[in-house]
Chains A and B, each alone.
Chain A
Amino acid sequence: MLKSETSPKHIPESVVFDFDIYGDDRLTDDLHASYETLHRDAPDVFWTPRNGGHWMITRYEDIMDVVRDPEHFSVREMQIPRVEDPPLFIPLSLDPPDNIPYRQALMPFFAPKTVRAMEPKIRQFAIEMIEAVEKRGECDFVDDISSQFPVSVFMELMGMPLERLREFRTQADAFFESRSDEDIAANFGKIVAIMTELIETRRAEPKDDLISKMTQFEINGRPISLGELQSICSILFLGGMDTVTNVSSYLFRHLAGDAALQDRLSEEPEKIKDFIEEGLRSFGVVNTPRLVTKDFERFGVPFRQGDMVLCMLPLGGRDDRKTKDPNKFDIDREKIDHVTFSSGPHLCLGHTLARLEMRILTEEWLKRIPSFRLKPGTMAHSRVGTVMALEQLPLEWSV
């Protein structure tokens, strides 16, 4: 059947393992733990014939090796299965040294200092959102909180006028909810259009915000083009929302089921930082693809130019060779190791911001809703693929 017959000749039978990243029977409601069974059942590095055929890398050290080796594993193509005209996201789909001028131009806006300065605004967004549901005694955490919060933060970061919040949010919702290729393309087009309009406005009349500063970027001594700006804005939009939404949703699902942990964090809010870090380890949500650039051997398997490779970043956090009892959620670990933000030249640019967003959300939530639980009888279905998303999270509490 599907197995070796459809695998290219260079793949040895012994490393073929049938796994469908877009919906595998092995994946259950406890998505991350069910994914972790691959460590037991599959070779560390294996080839699945599904989705055009691709490699999967499941161990922390091997993932580190791949994402830090752009010479053999390129970001030029990040689609599984491969597509005709892969989109260009700057800086994400440029290998070094091409990514460097952009990365450096963006860095100041994501540095710890800059991010710290955004804290009061971010806190205010979190408070408003939580207060809007507090008295109801229930909410769908995904719909009401975790998908809304990063949109406001993104707009603040970019310097988007708040009077367009509603319009932009509706558009962002439409995009993240679209499932067909046409809808995705159409809704993404609208997002880019909104940002293009803003780029043009700020080019004419700069203000003190990220978009204005971006229009003044110089890349290798020449001014940045509109196309480049659109590409950067797109990756900031795509990279900064769904990710924060999804990690927070899985994390709050865990917290909702652990009353003792809720009490502990309320009593010791200084532990919330470790709670977030352990959450990042336990609930990674991005699997990142690479394209093999030449024929060579690594991890005991033969890679051929043009093979696609998928780094299972969430599995890196659950690797028992790196973390003891990886399926246990423990905020008292001495060291928390994960690759949820990847590593190497494309290490998530927004990692400081993401950590801050989630810490503030948790702090403000627990101040207002210190005790809450999952609504009984609800399902916890996830969308899976290169990004993993919890579809809903109905919570309830006493008011």
Chain B
Amino acid sequence: MKINYVTPAGEAVTVNAELGESLMEAAVRNGVDGIVAACGGCLSCATCHAYIDEPWLSKIDPQSQTEKDMLDYASHVEPDSRLTCQVPVTAELEGVIVRTPPSQD
């Protein structure tokens, strides 16, 4: 599965992700700039924040209340913001574009 990230510097990076891992894990495993993920996916840091473009955004399960609450405290939040540790890689995400925010703090 190919996942496309755009780093804070605007650079496009494509990585090979495994089905079932999260967009955060795929980014961290491949050293993608802009996804910090300080808590490692425990929903306690909000530093895995990124924007997910349509049409993929609508294909992802909606946010849990916890993810919503955490996103409230991230910086540069937009309507298409998600915490990438909460988004599993599925077949439907083929070709997805994940844009990282200018910073995670």
Enumerate chain A interface residues (CB-CB to B < 8 A).
64, 68, 96, 100, 103-104, 107-108, 111-114, 341, 343-347, 351-352
Chain A residues contacting B105 (CB-CB under 8 Å) are 112, 352
B91 at the interface (CB under 8 A from A): no
Given A112-B75, A113-B75, A352-B105: A345 and B42 interface contact (C-beta under 8 Å): yes
Chain B nearest CB, measured from A157 CB (Å): 16
Which B39-54 residues have C-beta < 8 A from chain A?
Answer: 39-46
Prevailing SS type, chain B contact patch: loop
Chain A residues contacting B45 (CB-CB under 8 Å) are 347
What separation, in Å, do the CA atoms of A100 and B105 have in the docked complex? 22
B73 at the interface (CB under 8 A from A): yes
B73 and A108 within 8 A (CB): yes
What separation, in Å, do the CA atoms of A341 and B74 have in the docked complex? 18
Prevailing SS type, chain A contact patch: helix
B69 at the interface (CB under 8 A from A): yes
What separation, in Å, do the CA atoms of A68 and B43 have in the docked complex? 12
B38 at the interface (CB under 8 A from A): yes
Chain A residues contacting B69 (CB-CB under 8 Å) are 104, 107
Chain B residues contacting A103 (CB-CB under 8 Å) are 44
Chain B residues contacting A64 (CB-CB under 8 Å) are 40
Which B67-105 residues have C-beta < 8 A from chain A?
Answer: 69-70, 72-75, 105
Chain B residues contacting A352 (CB-CB under 8 Å) are 105
Chain B nearest CB, measured from A115 CB (Å): 9
A68 and B42 within 8 A (CB): yes
Chain B residues contacting A351 (CB-CB under 8 Å) are 38
Interface string of B21-55 (1 = CB under 8 A from A): 00000000000000000111111111000000000
B66 at the interface (CB under 8 A from A): yes
* Chain B residues with a Cβ closer than 8 Å to the other chain, count: 17
The residue from A96, A100, A111, A345 contacting B46, defined by CB atoms under 8 A apart: A111
What separation, in Å, do the CA atoms of A103 and B39 have in the docked complex? 13
A96 and B42 within 8 A (CB): yes
A112 and B73 within 8 A (CB): yes
B66 and A104 within 8 A (CB): yes
What separation, in Å, do the CA atoms of A107 and B70 have in the docked complex? 8
Chain B residues contacting A96 (CB-CB under 8 Å) are 42
Chain B residues contacting A346 (CB-CB under 8 Å) are 44
What separation, in Å, do the CA atoms of A345 and B45 have in the docked complex? 9
The residue from B39, B70, B72, B73 contacting A347, defined by CB atoms under 8 A apart: B39
Chain B residues contacting A345 (CB-CB under 8 Å) are 39, 42, 44
Given contacts A111-B74, A112-B75, A113-B75, 20 further A-B contacts (CB under 8 A): A68-B40, A68-B42, A96-B42, A100-B43, A100-B66, A104-B66, A104-B69, A104-B70, A108-B73, A111-B72, A111-B73, A112-B73, A112-B105, A341-B38, A343-B40, A345-B39, A346-B44, A347-B42, A347-B45, A352-B105
What separation, in Å, do the CA atoms of A68 and B85 have in the docked complex? 14
Chain A nearest CB, measured from B28 CB (Å): 11
What separation, in Å, do the CA atoms of A113 and B70 have in the docked complex? 13
Q: Which residue of A lies closest to B77 (CB)?
A: A113
What separation, in Å, do the CA atoms of A107 and B69 have in the docked complex? 9
What separation, in Å, do the CA atoms of A210 and B47 have in the docked complex? 23
Chain A residues contacting B39 (CB-CB under 8 Å) are 343-345, 347
Given A100-B66, A112-B105, A352-B105: A344 and B73 interface contact (C-beta under 8 Å): no
